[in-house]
Each structure stands twice: as C-alpha cells, then as structure tokens.
Amino acid sequence: MHMDDRRMRLGESPNRAIFLAWLGLCAVLLLVAGQNILAVRFPGPDDSLRLAQVRDLLAGQGWYDLHQYRMTPPEGTLMHWSRLVDVPIAALILLFSQFMEMPQAERATMIVLPLLILLPTTFAVGRLTWRLFDRQTAIYACLALLLLPLVPMQFQPLRIDHHGWQIFTVAFGAWAMSWRSAPRGGAAAGLAMAFGLMISLEVIFLAAAFGLIFALRWMRDHRARWWLVAYLQTLALGLAVAFALTRGLPDLAAHCDVISPPHLGFFLIVALGSGMLAVAPRMPRLPLVLALGSFALLGLGFLGWSAPQCLAPPFAGLDPLVRDYWYLNVSEGRPLWNRSVSDIIPALVQPLFALGVTLYLAGRSHDWLRGWLFEYALLLAIAFCGGVMTYRSMAFAGVLAALPMGWFIGQMFKRWRAYPSLLPKLGLALLLFAVFLPGGLVTMAMKLAPDRPSQGAVRLGDSRCELHSQAQLLKKLPPAILFTPLDIGPAVLAQTRHSVVASAHHRAEQAMHDVIFSFTSPPALARQYVDAYKADYVVLCADVVETRNFSIGGGEGALMSRLLADDPPDWLAPVDIGGPDELKVWRVIRSQGPGPGALSTHAGSPCLGTQAHCTKG
C-alpha cells in the first residue's frame, strides 16, 4: 500500500493503463450487448422515451418545455427529466448526422454515448485507486466494474438514460474526497453532487453522505472546515445555476421529484450557515454539532413551509390504483427484498465484502490513510443502505466497491503466484468466483432445484411482441391516439408518430389511473374512458406480466380479460397489421362521451359506476 504522496512516484502515471482498461470494458460490453445492438432493443423503457424527448428537442421544442405532447394529448405530460442528460445525446446525434443518415446517427449515439460516460467513471475509479495503492491495483479496480452490482448494465450500449451519469458523479465525488486541497476537493465533490441531483434526486442520500464525512473532518480538525464549506456552497451554487439553465422561470412549481425552488432554499440555508460558522470563532465540538444541526433544521423548516408535501416519502401520495398495479411492480425502484434471489445475493455479498475489505485496510493503515479509509467505508455503507431501500441505487455501492475489490484481486493474484501446489490455487479460484460471481452460484443452485410451474407471462423485453422491431408495424395505421397498457407506451412514442394516453411515468398519474381502471373494468365503463381520451385504437401485448395483472385484477368480465380471450366488445374492431399474434390491435368505434376530467377524480376514485368500481384497486 502506497502511503507516500503520489507526486513522489516520479515517472509513474496510471492514465494510459486506465485508458486500456476502459477499452477492455468497452469490448466486453459491446460483445455482450451485440444482439441488442443489432436489433436496436433498448435495455429499458426510459431509454426509449429519452430518445423521443431528444428528438422533440432537435425538432424545435423549446429548451425549457419538458412536456411530452404525445403522452396524454393534447395538453401532454410535463416530464421530470433533465436537459443535462439530453444535451450530450443531442450533440452526438447532430455530430454523427453530418456524415450519416439520421437513423444511423441515432444508433451510433446510443452505442457510443454510454461507453463515453464509462470513460470518466473509469478514470475516477482508477485515479483514486492509484492514489492509494499502485497502478496494477488501479487496473484491477477498473476491470472489477464489470462484475459489480448493476454497474455494467447502466453503461451498456443503448443505455442512454441518466443512470450512468449518476454513477459517474458518485465516483468523481469519491475521488475528489481524496484530494489534498480542501477548497478544491470540497468544491469538486459539491459540483459532482449538484450535477447528480439536478439529473435525479436518487443521489440525495449520497449527497448527504459526503456532507456528513466533511462535517466529521471539521469535528476532528478545525482546519479541515473548508471541506464542508466548499462542498455545501458549491453544491448550492451549482444547483442554482443548473436550475436556471435547464428549468428557469417557466417552471417554478414546488415539484418533489426534481430539484425545485424549495430544495434550492434548503441548500442555500445550509450553505450559508456553514460559511458563517467557518468564519466565526472556533467553538467546542458539541456546540458546533448543534449549530450545524440547527442550520440543517432551519433548511428543512423552509422546505416544509414552502412544500410540505416534499417531506413525505417518495410516491407516498400516489393514487392507490397506480400504486398497486404499477409502482409495486417496478421492482428496480423498490427495496432489495422485492427482487429475486439471483439479484439479492450479489447485491448483498459484493458490497458487504467490499465494506469488510475497506475496514480491514483501514485497521492496518496509519495517519491520514487510516482516517480516509474509515470515511470511505462510511460512504460505501451509506451507499449500500440506499441500495437496499432502492434496488436501482445499488449501482452506487457497486462503483464504490471497485476500489477495495481491486485491492483484493491484486492480493489474490500475489498469493496465487506464491503457492507452489495446485490445491491452494484452486481454492483461490473458487473464492474469487464466489466473490465476483455470486449470482453464478445461485443460478447453479436454481438449476438443481425442482422446476417451478411457469407463470405464463414474461417481461416486456422478453415478449413475443418484439416491440423493438414490431412497433414499426403500427406505422401502417394513420397517426392516432393509442389506448395501451403503460409499459408499451415508450416503445410506441420512440418508434412511431402515434400518441398514447399514458405511459409508465408517474407525472401522468391521472391518465395512468384511467388506463388501469379501464382495462380492469367492464367494457361498458371502459368505453367511456377510451372515448373521453379520443383514442383511435386499443393496442396491447398479450403475453406480458402487465396485461396478465390487469386481467387477474379485473376478473373475467374486465375489458382486459375479454381482449385476451379474443372476445372484444362490439365497439372494438380487430385490425390485422401483420405482426405476431401477441401484438393485438383493435380500432375504436367512436361514441360520444364526456371528457376525462368528468369521469374520474385525481384521488383515484372514478365517479362513474357503482361504489365497487370507485374503490377498486
């Protein structure tokens, strides 16, 4: 372990080695994603909708106008996504379009961009690891990114949504935490977290973790107070500037799912408070803790006064029907224990093992390195807890685990070379396999277990509908409003010029409720909603989990059950578009009816039908 200053290692630079490691990561990701690339099969629905949003921007939609006008037309749905993610996508598309056709430019962008985001992420991990250890360990840490929870999937080709950017901000913040200069390091970490928070509030617990670590430095050494001051002030300033550039005056509403003025007020109060305490006369540790806590409470008080709804847990006020049929089935956004065993085991084993390695390294280290490694262990532990509560966030723990895992790989290789006989080497190989591929052990165990009966429904990505290619068949229909289940909405928006009533995005909560309610209600009641939204066609994939859930929830007489049984009501006429049998289309035979606002309330209790219908879900 290198405890000397990196500037003392004359002639040693990790940059070329890190770059070569990144090339190796890219080669593996391209190979693994080859079939998806050829078929243009997006990893998730958010990637499809992100492409649709960027297309609208390039087509002339206003910079501050974040509406998706083909979702719940004609008013559209105001999305919560950030232009910070749209800009690099749009820029690359424009660049590639100078020497290829637009469809090819889009495809090239979707392949290249995730790998380009991986480059600074790899450099942050590699430079940090080199700072603490050596170049060989830095290479191992970079390569370990391929085997850590959720990290590779967020950088795979076609993954153009925001998750890779957020992982980068966490890695960069951790690297900045190791810099010698408090003002520079704190400001760099604050800028990284401002960028990450402006993209999505998912990194809020890590933003708090960095603040906690810098506050603890202040507790230990009064001279280190500028870490927290620089961090909080750059964080507040960065958020204010990013908000002005990407949202600005057109959207000053108190949104709780993105950074909004109440959040800006909170960060401003905390930043000003830390600055005031930093220039005040030095105070004992307990009064300092109370003073910092008072400013934090003052900031929370402002947030609660200006937007009390934002103090509630995310999705706490979600419509009951939307919660039961949509949110509870989005397992990546829910706690870890809602996932399958094959997901739970790697997500538990690898970060916890990395945490143990970090604590071991801290225990055997001295001076500044000992304290820094304990801080890193705290950061990793908080990231792990966040991942337990929101499975998708386990990627943050994954990228932080790369550093201790890289050290562990190096130690195992040293032992491998030192052992003269085969048996100890075989034991090391099994240990490495168990640590880096614990999911493989689970898979083997599941193959040995008795087969469980099939549920008869699949995820959308595995559907025989093959929407990544077959959605093009919907172009045979004239531009129309499609009444679809939620999950297929993004594919329709990205691959056709049709509109949808709702998609699997919570900002369209009322429309989501009405779609779910319609498919789980008798056809006579569902027809009033379909007509109210002026839908021209009903489209669905018959073999996916969502349609099965609608059928089961609604019972035999529900619209979805009738459609799956090929027994549509008389106001729907089948349309053959030449696709797979699972991709079903019906033309709506129009009737007159009231607008959607007259049919249901935002609280999720439709005003039509019996009380049984009003409380369904």
For 26, the enclosing helix (H) or strand (E) is helix 15-32
- 428 versus 114: the higher-pLDDT residue is 114
CA distances from 506 to 197, 255, 285, 483, 485 (A): 19, 12, 44, 17, 14
Q: What are the two backbone dihedrals, phi and then psi, of residue 537, each rounded to the nearest 5 degrees?
A: -140, 150
Mean per-residue pLDDT, 74-96:
96
Count of C-beta atoms within a 10 Å radius of residue 417: 9
| Residue where the block lists tokens 């820094």 | 372
Q: What is the mean pLDDT of the chain?
A: 90
CA 207 to centroid of chain Cα atoms: 16
Please return the burial class of 220, using the count of CB atoms within 10 Å of its CB with bins 0-12, 13-18 and 19+: exposed
Mean per-residue pLDDT, 110-135:
97
203-238 pLDDT, tens digit per residue, is 999 999 999 999 999 999 999 999 999 999 999 999
Q: What band does 525 get if pLDDT is binned at 50, 70 and 90?
A: very high
589-602 pLDDT, tens digit per residue, is 986 655 444 454 33
pLDDT reported for residue 268: 97
Cα–Cα distance measured from residue 349 to residue 472, given in angstroms and rounded to the nearest whole number? 42
pLDDT reported for residue 13: 84
Q: What band does 16 get if pLDDT is binned at 50, 70 and 90?
A: very high
Q: What band does 430 get if pLDDT is binned at 50, 70 and 90?
A: confident
Cα–Cα distance measured from residue 177 to residue 195, given in angstroms and rounded to the nearest whole number? 16
CA distances from 213 to 177, 193, 379, 434, 452 (A): 9, 14, 8, 32, 47
Global confidence as pTM:
0.92
Contact 146, 30 (CB under 8 A): no
| Range name among 1-15, 37-51, 268-282, 311-325 with the lowest pLDDT average | 1-15
Cα–Cα distance measured from residue 539 to residue 500, given in angstroms and rounded to the nearest whole number? 10
pLDDT reported for residue 34: 93
Contact 390, 205 (CB under 8 A): no
Looking at the chain, the whole-number percentage of residues with pLDDT higher than 70 is 91
Cα–Cα distance measured from residue 284 to residue 282, given in angstroms and rounded to the nearest whole number? 7
Instruction: Spell out the domains of the chain, with CATH numbers in brackets.
Output: 7-41+80-405 (no CATH), 463-614 (3.40.50)
